[in-house]
Amino acid sequence: MTQPGKRAHRPSRPSRAHPPRRPATPERPPIDDPARRAALDVLRAVRNDDAYANLVLPKLLRQRKITGRDAALATELAYGTCRAWGLLDEVLAECVDRPLNKVEPVLLDALRLGTYQLLRTRIPAHAAVASTVDLVRADLGPRVTGFANAVLRKVTDRDEAGWLEVIAPARDEDPIGHLAAHTSHPRWIARAFADALGSTGDELADALAADDQRPEVHLAARPGEVTAEELAAMTGGDPAPYSPYGVRLEAGSGDPGDLDAIRERLAGVQDEGSQLCALALTRAPVEGADSRWLDLCAGPGGKAAMLGALAVINGGTLDAVEVAPHRAKLVEQITQGLPVTVHVADGREPGLEGTFDRVLVDAPCTGLGALRRRPEARWRRMPEDVGDLTKIQRELLTSALGLVRPGGVVAYVVCSPHLSETEGVVSSVARATGATVLDARTCFPEDMPGLGDGPHVQLWPHRHGTDAMFCALLRR
């Protein structure tokens, strides 16, 4: 995990944190605080083991039988602290008398958790400080409780807006850095969103703010098995606004894996934007044969399941390529009973016979379009990841254009709005291969607003309520 970008102005830092106003009492036994304990353990796993908060936390809540208000508090604290990680570190850097990398990591995790409560929750300051000090005492003994108490007391000198005045660049000098700090994003990500949106103002602010909102769960009805209306009635959700197979469930409506419709494979969990990108591939006009489809990056299989079910209706087949064996297994499981053949192979040279009428390249990417789903992801991704990914994205798209027949269609899809991964990849491959770029907007719902000037489609959470999926269509 990284620190966010450079601050515009750093006030002089006190050589010591304020002395504690209420001395720590080392002999006091730690309070029983399952919610904060769980949140702290999640932060440690994220920092130490590169774990994903949204996978660790539910498991931990189940194991420890934490439910109800405690579960809600643990979720708010764990996810909120992960999202605000960079902001919290900037504030803590102002309140600690040494570089943060000289603070014991276990202690720093607790300070982040305490600072999050102080700046971004309505938990009373005394409770936020005391509960954090208790956690520190339980983990590290009494030797650093005074330090933790003093640092958190210093944090209480200002609220979040007050600290942002100290650490954020001025709006008129650096509008992107200003919004990045105010929405707790690394500056390079805010810059990438600004470039894709053509905005450094309100729309950029909305796009960044959407990453902090808890996403609804989207389901995809299995085509030919059940309609979106039937699925909505079975699950208590609402038919989605754009995908004919989509259903949206309210955020926090429980584990969708428990739904009968999912267990019986009548539906899968799939972002509505992903559904629309898979459907766009099937909607692009092709002349002549239309029965051999290929998914070149198939794991874990959400789009392969949808394409496989549509292939049944179409009287065709789908070949699904995935380089990672364990992910290929997931594709096999999710497409059981469908006319899908799974190959464990590198999509750049999959060694498949013949050509295909339609090919999907749902390429590995930075995932900057799904930050709302992965609380820590914005701080884990690095700008230098983009170069490695665009190389493989170009290679996979080039390979797809070699595997599709003349007149056939390739859909290039990434879950990112970063222009290097989107327009940059498509234009360089189209130039090198002579492929024709189609207007992808014509393969998305007619009434879908905010699709821009084309030819590609970029979806956004703040505009469409979907992940920020990108879709380009190319004809060989």
Which residues make up each annotated binding site for S-adenosyl-L-methionine? 297-303, 322, 346, 362
Give the whole-angstrom CA distance, residue 400 versus residue 346: 12
Residue number, 264 or 349, with CB nearest to ligand SAM? 349
User: Which residues would be at the binding site for ligand SAM (CB under 6 A)?
Assistant: 274, 297-303, 321-324, 327, 346-348, 362, 364
By three-state DSSP, how is residue 295 classified? strand
Residue number, 199 or 428, with CB nearest to ligand SAM? 428
Min dist. Cβ of residue 236 to ligand SAM (A): 25
Residue number, 35 or 323, with CB nearest to ligand SAM? 323
Residues whose CB falls within 8 Å of the CB of residue 142, separated by 6 or more in sequence, listed in order: 24, 26, 27
Residue number, 347 or 461, with CB nearest to ligand SAM? 347
Q: Which long-range contacts (CB under 8 A, 24 or more apart) does 384-390 make?
A: 386/418, 386/420, 386/421, 387/420, 389/363, 389/364, 389/365, 389/421, 390/420, 390/421, 390/424, 390/425
Min dist. Cβ of residue 390 to ligand SAM (A): 13
Evaluate the CA torsion angle 113, 118, 120, 123 in order and state its sign.
positive
CB 469 within 8 A of CB 415: yes
Residue that is written with structure tokens 């200002």 in the block: 158
Min dist. Cβ of residue 411 to ligand SAM (A): 11
Residue number, 90 or 271, with CB nearest to ligand SAM? 271
Residue number, 109 or 322, with CB nearest to ligand SAM? 322
Q: Helix axis angle, 85-95 relative to 68-83, nearest 10°? A: 70
CB 438 within 8 A of CB 426: no
Q: In what order do the strands lie in the sheet with 217-221?
A: 238-239, 246-249, 217-221, 267-269
Min dist. Cβ of residue 74 to ligand SAM (A): 29
Q: Is 82 one of the annotated active-site residues of the chain? A: no
Give the whole-angstrom CA distance, residue 150 versus residue 153: 5
CB 391 within 8 A of CB 270: no
Min dist. Cβ of residue 135 to ligand SAM (A): 37
Exposure pattern of 326-363 as b/e (b: 16+ CB <10 Å)? ebbbbbbebbeebbbebbbbbbeebebeebbbbbbbbb
Residue number, 300 or 461, with CB nearest to ligand SAM? 300
What single string gives the DSSP state of each residue in 315-371? Answer: T-EEEEEESSHHHHHHHHHHTTTSSEEEEES-TTS----S-EEEEEEE-----GGGG
Q: Which two tokens stand for residue 363?
A: 């390429």
| Selection from 370, 374, 418 nearest residue 273 by Cα | 370
Residue that is written with structure tokens 């001025």 in the block: 170
| Selection from 12, 173, 164, 150 nearest residue 87 by Cα | 164
Q: Which residues are annotated as a binding site?
A: 297-303, 322, 346, 362
Q: What are phi and psi of 409, to 5 degrees?
A: -125, 140
Residue number, 66 or 396, with CB nearest to ligand SAM? 396
Min dist. Cβ of residue 365 to ligand SAM (A): 6
Residues whose CB falls within 8 Å of the CB of residue 270, separated by 6 or more in sequence, listed in order: 218, 219, 220, 302, 303, 306
Min dist. Cβ of residue 323 to ligand SAM (A): 4
Q: Which entry of 95, 277, 415, 471 is annotated as an active-site residue?
A: 415
CB 46 within 8 A of CB 82: yes
Min dist. Cβ of residue 456 to ligand SAM (A): 17
Residues catalogued as catalytic = 415
